[in-house]
Chain A
Amino acid sequence: MSRTGVRLRDLLGEALGGIGSRPARTALTVLGTVLGIGTLVTTLGVSATAGNQIAGRFDAATATEVTVTVAVPGAVGRAALGNLRRLNGVTAASGYSRSRKGDELPVRSTLLRDPSRAALRKVPVIGTDTAFPAAARAAVATGRFFDQGHLDRRDRVAVLGTEAARQLGVTRVGNQPAVFVDDQAFTVIGILGTSGRTDQALVNNAVVLPWTTAERTVRAGPVDTVLVTTALGAAPLIAAQAPVALSPNDPLALQVSAPPDPDSLRAGVAQDVSGMLLVLGLVSLVVGALGIANVTLVTVLERTAEIGLRRALGARRRHIAAQFLAESMIVGLLGGIVGASTGILAVVVISVVRDWTPVIDGTLAAGAPLTGALVGLVAGLYPASRAAALQPAEALRGPA
């Protein structure tokens, strides 16, 4: 008696022959899985793409900004800023002290009796160092910013925020206009542009003085806020290191606000977008699986005589089961491949239309066809067991 093993290649050949004999039906059956896998791949791909897109925009704007608020006055000395600047990833750091909220200093420009202009304004006054424009992301629009020389000499110079300059009627600095802060004259040497930091709208309204000058003239206090800009991706690290660098004795005196981790943000967005569609895709997949199960069952009933013949030719029950499992698995695999392809294509098309960069996970692209095959395999379990259970003598009398 010869052995009764059937080679895998022969088994696959028989399975392919089986599904190839009814191409139209196979195509329709495949379609169910194509829809399911296609929806899943499109959903996951589009949400990953959209999430990446939103997070990307977020990165550029705020993911490089760290703000340290000093809760205990005097916890941060000016010298400590040097420690912060030395950290790898810091591109600019500047500390400032500002006049107390609700107790702003009166500021006016030249003594000109102009009834259309309010004589006195309460304006926040900031005393800071030379790194301020970089750290606050406010370029100098007109004139210049003060330098180390101004600081050392405690020069009575001022730089105006863009909104403060408008309110005070200062438009140019060539004629050396003066502003009076608490009735003390300061020469305006520059006007800042709008600050790029969304958390620092204050900068636009402020009068900015060298901190040495502010200390002497308007009794400005110690550093109460430290602005830091970092290299891309360094913000979370700097946020963790900044308190120790600034206030080694009492890091807890500082409150650090840093942007949320871009990765978690991205995942959050992806989750929001995909929840509903994901459910839809899974439902399609289940429907696809039921389709495969149904068609395979019909096929088993139609091919009863063939099953009988194969049993007469020496096929064991497991050979019959394996053949129908292979057939349903191939149908699922085909659906998975076609579905993954159309899904990826859809993601690319949507990305092109929206001017996005398509993001497709390699695992997703590889896993989708395998998922299809698995779906086919599971769907084939019941029909295959039915086929294997047929009695050969009765099956031979069944429909051809």
Chain B
Amino acid sequence: MTEVIRLTGVGRSFPGDPPVHVLAGVELTVRRGDYVGIVGPSGSGKSTLLNVLGLLDRPDTGSYLLEGAETTALGDRQRTALRGARIGFVFQSFHLMDYRTVEENVMLGGLYTGLTRTQRRDRAAEALDRVAMSHRRTFLPTRLSGGERQRVAIARALIGAPALLLCDEPTGNLDSVTTGAVLDLFDELRANGTTLLVITHDDTVAGRADRRIRLRDGRPVPVAAGAPR
């Protein structure tokens, strides 16, 4: 199975007195079709790891191969292009634009990757279908429930057929019922071959993943594999 992510000796520190070493010597490999949960308390470096994995931040040390290509040496422009094309983001606060319809929000996903408007509309319809939100196509996000909003956000992440779906506390703003629905959706996506990496502080969310990694003081500690369903 091909590797989507390979982190080798990744470290990231922030200036201060003394400097804060948020990540240190992180080793992580994610293969195509993996469903990985990363857990850790606040301050354990989850956000920084997410930023590094999402090419939003650059590690100080180590190497990050995304689909076999070294990313740490790439320029800003190439990293941006890679990020737009190969990584789908799902955020805790959804980041939907309130004044745009569900369809327009999803279509935003392909805007910067060179897709035509027609292609984006077709793919948006497809993605909304995958997350079972086609019936809300013309709604504004403000009229949707939290779970529905997150499903729209997931559809937006899926539109470019990313190599990796990077989820940052995807259920942080949801109640337990809608959390369950979103996690069921993740299972479906996983079953259809999507590579998922979920970062959360919630053990039950991480527990749905195939593989769990606990972050402690900026270092990943493997946890016994989550019970397969």
Question: Taking beta carbons and an 8 Å cutoff, which residues of A are in contact with B?
Answer: 1-7, 9-10, 14, 17, 20-21, 305-306, 308-317, 319, 392-393, 396, 400
Contact = CB atoms under 8 A, between A and B. Distances in A.
The interface centre, meaning the residue of A1, A313, A315, A319 with most chain B CB atoms within 10 A of its CB, is A313
A305 B96 CA distance: 10
A6 B84 CA distance: 12
A2 B99 contact: no
B54 to A, nearest CB: 7
Given A313-B109, A315-B112, A316-B77, A1 B95 contact: no
Given A9-B117, A310-B112, A392-B56, A1 B99 contact: no
A393 B56 contact: yes
B91 A3 contact: no
Contacts of B81: 1, 4, 314, 316
A120 B83 CA distance: 111
A2 B114 contact: yes
Interface in B102-140: 104, 108-109, 111-117
Given A312-B54, A396-B91, A2 B85 contact: yes
The interface centre, meaning the residue of A2, A6, A306, A315 with most chain B CB atoms within 10 A of its CB, is A2
Interface string B160-192: 100000000000000000000000000000000
B112 A316 contact: yes
Contacts of A312: 54, 56, 83, 89
Given A314-B84, A319-B112, 20 more contacts: A1-B85, A2-B85, A2-B114, A4-B112, A4-B113, A7-B116, A17-B97, A17-B104, A20-B99, A21-B99, A311-B80, A312-B54, A312-B89, A313-B84, A314-B83, A314-B111, A316-B80, A316-B112, A392-B56, A400-B95
B71 interface: no
A4 B77 CA distance: 9
B65 interface: no
B221 interface: no
A182 to B, nearest CB: 99
9 contacts: A1-B86, A7-B117, A9-B117, A17-B99, A17-B100, A21-B100, A309-B95, A314-B80, A392-B56
Given A7-B116, A21-B99, A400 B85 contact: no
A17 B57 CA distance: 29
A314 B85 contact: yes
The interface centre, meaning the residue of B82, B85, B95 with most chain A CB atoms within 10 A of its CB, is B95
B13 interface: no
Nearest to B100: A17
Chain B binding surface SS class:
helix
A7 B111 CA distance: 9
B80 A4 contact: yes
A319 B98 CA distance: 21
A6 B112 contact: yes
Contacts of B82: 1
Instruction: Pick the 3 closest A-B CB pairs, nearest first.
Output: A314-B84, A21-B99, A314-B112
A393 B48 CA distance: 9
Nearest to A397: B47
Contacts of A1: 81-82, 85-86
B49 to A, nearest CB: 12
B51 interface: yes
Contacts of A306: 95, 97
Contact of A400 (B84, B93, B116, B156): B93
B111 A14 contact: yes
Contacts of A392: 56
Nearest to A319: B112
Interface in B56-74: 56-57
B81 to A, nearest CB: 5
Contacts of A6: 111-112
A134 B122 CA distance: 84
B117 A2 contact: no
Nearest to B157: A313
A310 B89 CA distance: 11
Contacts of A2: 85, 113-115
A17 B116 CA distance: 18
A45 to B, nearest CB: 38
Contact of B84 (A4, A10, A17, A20): A4
Contacts of A7: 116-117
A310 B91 CA distance: 13
A299 to B, nearest CB: 13
Contacts of B109: 313
Given A17-B100, A311-B80, A4 B93 contact: no
Contacts of B97: 17, 21, 306
